[in-house]
Amino acid sequence: MEDSNPVKTPVEIGIKLTNEGDERTVDATYFKHIVGSLRYLTCIRPDTCYVVGLVIRYMESPRQVHLQAVKRIMCYIKGTTTFGLFYSSSKKIEIVRYSDSDSGGDSDERKSTNGNCFMIEKTVCLWSSKKQSIVALSTCETEYVAATSACQSVWLSNIMT
């Protein structure tokens, strides 16, 4: 991957990964090794959380298309080595929460994925990307579940501290 060209996004726009297809399988141990390293990297690179979570779903029987998605993540990381989290001090602290979902984005189970992000000032301090436990019947319901999940994570973090 040293000679690869960097890309501007960690995943192709509109890509739908699935377990089905006629493509040949790849070595699962090799795939798990790479994805495990990428999973470790998500601790400091929240911009890769969604796409790493997406490829993790296919660790048991990875196919060529899944390996291509992993290689694209690595090309993205190569082109964004200066990205990171930077915190500054301020007298007034403002906390902002964002949430979103991808209404039925998982082609295999028809479940949506929540994305939540909490920011202190202009820097991310907490983030998550998780497949919803239910199959939502509308985009409105999907967004409601995402917002509820974000509020629940704030409530739980308040209890823990």
CA distance 136 to 134: 6
> What pLDDT was estimated at residue 159?
45
> What pLDDT was estimated at residue 151?
65
- Digit-by-digit pLDDT tens for the chain (161 residues) are 778 899 998 888 888 888 887 788 899 999 999 999 999 888 778 788 888 988 998 988 899 999 999 999 999 999 988 886 666 777 777 778 777 777 666 667 777 777 778 887 777 777 777 776 667 667 777 676 767 766 665 544 554 44
CA distance 31 to 12: 19
- Alpha-carbon torsion angle 159, 112, 17, 13, nearest 10: -90
CA distance 71 to 51: 11
What amino acid occupies position 148? T
What amino acid occupies position 35? V
Q: What is the pTM of this model?
A: 0.62
> What pLDDT was estimated at residue 161?
46
Radius of gyration of the chain (CA): 17
Q: Of all helices (H) and strands (E), which one includes residue 157?
A: helix 139-160
> What pLDDT was estimated at residue 92?
76
> What pLDDT was estimated at residue 121?
76
